[in-house]
Amino acid sequence: MIKRTVEISREPAHLALRNEQLVLQRAGEVIGQIPCEDLGVVVVDHPQTTYSHAALAKLAECGAAVVLCGRDHLPAALILPLADHSRVVWRLHDQIQVSRPLAKQLWKQLVAAKIRAQARNIDGALPAHRKLLALAREVGSGDPKNVEAQAARLYWQWWLATNDEDRLDVFRRDPDGQDLNAFLNYGYAILRAAVGRAIVAAGLHPSLGIHHRHRANAFCLADDLMEPFRPLVDDRVREMHRQGHEELTQPAKAELLDLLTCPMCLDDQQGPLMVMLHRLTASLVRCYAGEAKRLEIPIPCESPDTD
């Protein structure tokens, strides 16, 4: 079943629990109710929203991620469920004990998949498309040559280009920037929440990363696994830009939230991104346990992968 995403931003609401359902109330009136088991992500972007403890606890029990936005309307915190998994201790043990060579091989796969996804976002007639595919083949174990950064410089130069004469630095990626950067940051944060949810559902800990390591980052593994899917956000933001979106309004956020339903393919199976992320994390569990060596990374159904 495809889990639902709910955003609260236009007006405040009180989130309560009644008969296993999340009840949204305003001024004492019920404005909506949804079975908690149907929810995958709840995004709260109104400062006057309130909650009952029972509602948050039930959402966690049902595996939903709650995203809290700050004053800048960008996600500031995540509430993720602790996995209720019978083998969680053993899976955490495998995750902690992962060998450095395996971690480097997994990072190679993630970086190469990300660069191939970036190439899919560039018109095949443009030289940058072929260069990115070539760079993807150059990624080594652990990416010692930092091919990821080389690809990023090339990719962002051509990201908004429509022809061979239209390159140049018309856009500069800035995690603290505004304009299109704000759209990208919001989309990445939603993606991060969905990946984090899949990680804990698999019995893994989101802070124990493959490549990313920082004591102040509680979602290092989510930052690792989301890399191949960042270009999905990039593609959606670019299309919104071409349609005339200039501010991160509620309709714009809704379009970015809809990315979680993007149809993805893996081998002979397909499903929405939020569901297919569980295939990815399940494959990571097998790699940690020594049962597999490759991650199962889904790609957009309409875009055949190219190696």
Tell me phi and psi for residue 226, to 5 degrees: -80, -10
- In the predicted structure, residue 139 carries a pLDDT above the cut 90: yes
CB 292 within 8 A of CB 262: no
So what's the pLDDT on residue 182? 92
CA within 13 Å, CB half, 293? 3
Q: How far is CA 212 from CA 226, 235, 277, in A?
A: 12, 24, 19
List strands edge to edge, sheet with 29-35. Answer: 29-35, 21-26, 14-18, 50-51
Q: Please tell me which residue, 117 or 193, carries the higher pLDDT value.
A: 117
Amino acid (one-letter) located at 179: D
Do 4-79 and 88-300 share a fold? no
How large is the average pLDDT for residues 228-253?
Answer: 94
Calpha distance 261→273 (Å, rounded): 6
What is the SS3 assignment for 288? helix
CATH classification for the domain delimited by 4-79, as one of 3.40.50.2300, 3.40.50.300, 3.100.10.20, 3.30.230.80: 3.100.10.20
Calpha distance 227→233 (Å, rounded): 11
CB 286 within 8 A of CB 93: no
Residue 86's pLDDT band (cuts 50, 70, 90): low
How large is the average pLDDT for residues 87-102?
Answer: 87
C-beta neighbour count of 289 within 10 angstroms = 15
- In the predicted structure, residue 45 carries a pLDDT above the cut 90: no
How large is the average pLDDT for residues 231-260?
Answer: 93
Residue 239's pLDDT band (cuts 50, 70, 90): very high
Ordered by start, the domain boundaries in the chain are 4-79, 88-300
How large is the average pLDDT for residues 188-208?
Answer: 88
So what's the pLDDT on residue 166? 58
So what's the pLDDT on residue 81? 79
User: Which ranges of 121-179 would DSSP assign to H, the alpha helix?
Assistant: 127-138, 147-158
So what's the pLDDT on residue 15? 96
pTM of the model: 0.83
So what's the pLDDT on residue 206? 87
216: left (phi over 0), alpha (psi -120 to 50) or beta: alpha
How large is the average pLDDT for residues 246-263?
Answer: 92
How large is the average pLDDT for residues 260-265?
Answer: 94
Q: What class, spelled out in words, does domain 88-300 have in CATH?
A: mainly alpha
Q: Please tell me which residue, 105 or 28, carries the higher pLDDT value.
A: 105
Calpha distance 191→260 (Å, rounded): 7
Handedness of CA 126, 128, 131, 133 (dihedral sign): negative
The mean pLDDT of the chain is 89
What is the SS3 assignment for 296? coil
So what's the pLDDT on residue 305? 57
- pLDDT more than 90, % of the chain: 63
